Amino acid sequence: MVVLEDLWKSFHVRGDEKIVARGINAVFPTGTATALLGRNGAGKSTMMKMIAGNQKPTSGRIWSDGTISWPVGFAGSFHGELTGSQNVRFIARIYGVDTDMLCGFVEDFAELGGHYHLPLRTYSSGMKSRLAFGVSMGIRFDTYLVDEVTSVGDERFKSKANRIFMERIGASGAIVVSHSMGLIKQLCSKAAVLENGQLFFFDNVQEAIDFHLANMKG
């Protein structure tokens, strides 16, 4: 589970204070995919970055009794001068997983052919996305962070990516940010709505979507 305790987060934008979290206390349960909804600018991405440990809260704390992924498909930590394979081996060592196992999995999944052993700076954006998605799926986490993930490639590759993605989410848990309500309903069994620094939890995903859409109109 992921626990938020008296969480406050604020920052200044052009002289105005923006409050993302106002003393939030919440639990994202283990083994459950929970949607995180909210209007543009509500602070969903900031919340995800705090849960991932990339940003610190103003006060309060976030803790978990399991492992938390980086945002699925995020390629920002790759080094352009290293090959795809070398990048994967580096990440494997950081997370303490078998390097040969992860390298083999990503090579098979991403379908990059000989490019897998070329420097990342030679990759197209689609190739980087396939490599990053493969690494995300190759390491098992207790909670996956999903921030507008998109699979790339032809329909066959998208089908393969969606299949393994659903397997991972089903075996673990997830916190999912997406503007696609169809994807939210497909992936999630619970939902939370971030509105004006408060987090509202719903056991019924459709009720959360209705609440979110009402906020959008208000």
Tens digit of each residue's pLDDT (9 = 90 or more) over 36-61: 999 998 999 999 999 999 899 999 99
CB 35 within 8 A of CB 48: no
Tokens of 118: 């070329």
More confident residue, 68 or 13: 68
Which CATH number does the domain housing residue 111 bear? 3.40.50.300
CA distance 97 to 171: 18
pLDDT of residue 159: 82
Mean pLDDT over 137-148 rounds to 90
pLDDT of residue 149: 65
Does 165 share its domain with 183? no
Whether the predicted pLDDT of 218 surpasses 80 = no
Helices 125-138/84-95 angle, 10° precision = 30
pLDDT-derived band at 152 (thresholds 50, 70, 90) equals: low
Does 52 share its domain with 135? no
Whether the predicted pLDDT of 147 surpasses 70 = yes
CB 14 within 8 A of CB 171: no
Does 123 share its domain with 155? yes
How many helices (H) and strands (E) would you count in the chain?
Answer: 7, 9
User: Residue 17: in which H helix or E strand, if any?
Assistant: strand 16-28
CA distance 130 to 41: 28
The whole-model pTM stands at 0.86
Does 113 share its domain with 129? yes
Whether the predicted pLDDT of 187 surpasses 90 = no
pLDDT of residue 42: 93
Residue with tokens 């979507």: 209
Mean pLDDT for all residues in the chain: 92
Does 99 share its domain with 164? yes
DSSP state of 82: S
The answer to which of 48-57, 109-118, 136-145, 159-168 has the lowest mean pLDDT is 159-168
Does 163 share its domain with 212? no
**Beta strands at 68-71 and 173-177: parallel, antiparallel or unpaired:** unpaired
φ/ψ of 127, rounded to 5, equals: -65, -40
User: Residue 64: in which H helix or E strand, if any?
Assistant: strand 59-64
Tens digit of each residue's pLDDT (9 = 90 or more) over 76-91: 779 999 999 999 999 9
| Residue 208 domain boundaries | 2-67+176-217
Does 203 share its domain with 187? yes
User: Total domain count for the chain?
Assistant: 2
Mean pLDDT over 179-207 rounds to 94
CA distance 79 to 165: 25
- Find residue 11's DSSP bridge partners: 18
Give the DSSP letter string of 97-114. --HHHHHHHHHHHH--GG
Does 110 share its domain with 132? yes
Does 13 share its domain with 51? yes
pLDDT-derived band at 150 (thresholds 50, 70, 90) equals: low
Does 95 share its domain with 160? yes
Does 108 share its domain with 52? no
